[in-house]
């Protein structure tokens, strides 16, 4: 029986269609399960900023205790997030940002820094000489803008390294896959593809399947997700030459929400760590992440058993009551 939960958290997610967001949700739901008084409600905007604005308005009208938002694009989502914040609802912005500082706290890695790290790494990898196609995430979303800016800063000291074409991949593998070949055929001499996430790098890679150049072209992405559909696997398989870890932060988000809701101290800016993953460390990274995945499954199994025990206990209490009344 669903008892009335004391605290409602509304999470407006820009999309839940990809493995990275699914991992984020799993982490959040596991962390929430340690706090049975919290009801986490997730609305999926399916990559539509208009839909996301409507979702956030629904959460405001419903009177949620705390709002979590991962904005599809910064500009269109900013006013409604400001509105929620000004109405006194604590707002945690995650991963993608708005264009304003009207929010309670932020959780995510520093995308400018990651982009810069990627630029420096790639310039070294290419020995200071090479042509690049950059596959962009949604151009109105802050991680795409910041990764791009950081990347240009990272290669700035290497005049021989240049971006010769852009592809608008909108964070989606299939879109990158459809649009990459045109840019590639217009620039057949490129050395490397930098995609703003791993799945778009994979899309670009797959789009030129069977062509001789596929093998000697270099591919670099961001995310470094574990599991069978993640960037760690793509690096291990030799599809990607490198990726830059972009943690999902699901656990940190719920812990932060908990602290805010209980008037405990918290930081406004919560910056998650990053690192480069390539053939030198992918193996150990994969082992670690596989181990975590197994531990997570075992936590979920244990929780399931606890619920079963509680059910059993409740039934027995009911039975005792009936017996004592008769």
Residues at the contact surface with ligand FRU, assessed by CB under 6 A: 15, 18, 20-21, 95-96, 137, 141, 143, 171, 197, 222-223, 246
CB of 35 or CB of 196, closer to ligand FRU: 196
Secondary structure of 232-291 as H, E, C letters = HHHHHCCCCCEEEECCCCHHHHHHHHHHHHCCCCCCCEEEECCCEEECCCHHHHHHHHHH
Q: Taking CB positions, which residue lies at the least distance from ligand FRU?
A: 197
CB of 134 or CB of 223, closer to ligand FRU: 223
Q: Is 17 exposed, middle or buried (0-12, 13-18, 19+ CB in 10 A)?
A: middle
CB of 35 or CB of 173, closer to ligand FRU: 173
Measured distance CA(167)–CA(204) in Å, rounded: 10
Cα–Cα distances in angstroms (integers) from residue 53 to residues 12, 14, 75, 81, 225, in the given order: 9, 10, 11, 9, 28
CB of 90 or CB of 230, closer to ligand FRU: 230
Cα Rg of the chain (Å, integer): 23
CB of 18 or CB of 296, closer to ligand FRU: 18
CB of 46 or CB of 185, closer to ligand FRU: 46
| Closest among 84, 80, 99, 96 to 47, alpha carbons compared | 96
Measured distance CA(177)–CA(111) in Å, rounded: 24
Element holding 152 (H helix, E strand): helix 142-155
In angstroms, what is the minimal distance from the CB of 163 to ligand FRU?
Answer: 19
In angstroms, what is the minimal distance from the CB of 106 to ligand FRU?
Answer: 13
Residue 139 is given by DSSP the state T
């Amino acid at each position: 029986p669903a008892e009335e939960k004391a605290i409602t958290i509304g999470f407006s997610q820009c999309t839940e269609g990809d493995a990275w967001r699914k991992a984020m949700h799993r982490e959040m739901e596991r962390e929430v399960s340690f706090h049975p008084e919290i009801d986490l409600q997730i609305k999926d905007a399916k990559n539509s900023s208009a839909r996301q604005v409507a979702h956030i308005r629904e959460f405001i009208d419903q009177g949620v205790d705390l709002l979590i938002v991962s904005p599809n694009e910064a500009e269109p989502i900013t006013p409604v997030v400001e509105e929620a914040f000004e109405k006194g609802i604590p707002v945690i912005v995650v991963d993608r940002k708005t264009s304003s500082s009207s929010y309670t706290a932020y959780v995510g890695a520093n995308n400018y820094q990651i982009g810069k790290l990627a630029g420096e790494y790639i310039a070294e990898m290419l020995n200071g000489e090479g042509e690049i196609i950059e596959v962009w995430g949604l151009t109105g979303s802050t991680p795409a803008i910041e990764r791009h800016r950081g990347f240009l800063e990272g290669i700035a000291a290497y005049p021989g390294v240049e971006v010769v074409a852009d592809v608008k991949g909108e964070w989606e593998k299939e879109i990158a896959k459809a649009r990459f070949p045109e840019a590639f055929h217009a620039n057949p001499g490129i050395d490397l593809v930098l995609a703003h996430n791993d799945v778009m790098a994979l899309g670009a890679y797959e789009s030129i399947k069977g062509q001789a150049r596929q093998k000697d072209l270099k591919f670099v992405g961001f995310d470094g997700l574990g599991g069978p559909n993640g960037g760690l696997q793509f690096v291990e398989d030799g599809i990607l030459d490198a990726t830059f870890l972009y943690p999902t932060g699901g656990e940190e988000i719920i812990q932060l929400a908990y602290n805010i809701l209980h008037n405990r101290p918290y930081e406004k800016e919560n910056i998650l760590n990053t690192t480069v993953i390539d053939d030198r460390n992918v193996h150990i990274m994969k082992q670690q992440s596989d181990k975590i995945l197994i531990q997570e499954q075992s936590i979920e199994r244990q929780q399931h058993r606890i619920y079963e025990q509680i059910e059993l206990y409740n039934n027995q209490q009911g039975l005792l009551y009936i017996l004592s009344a008769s």
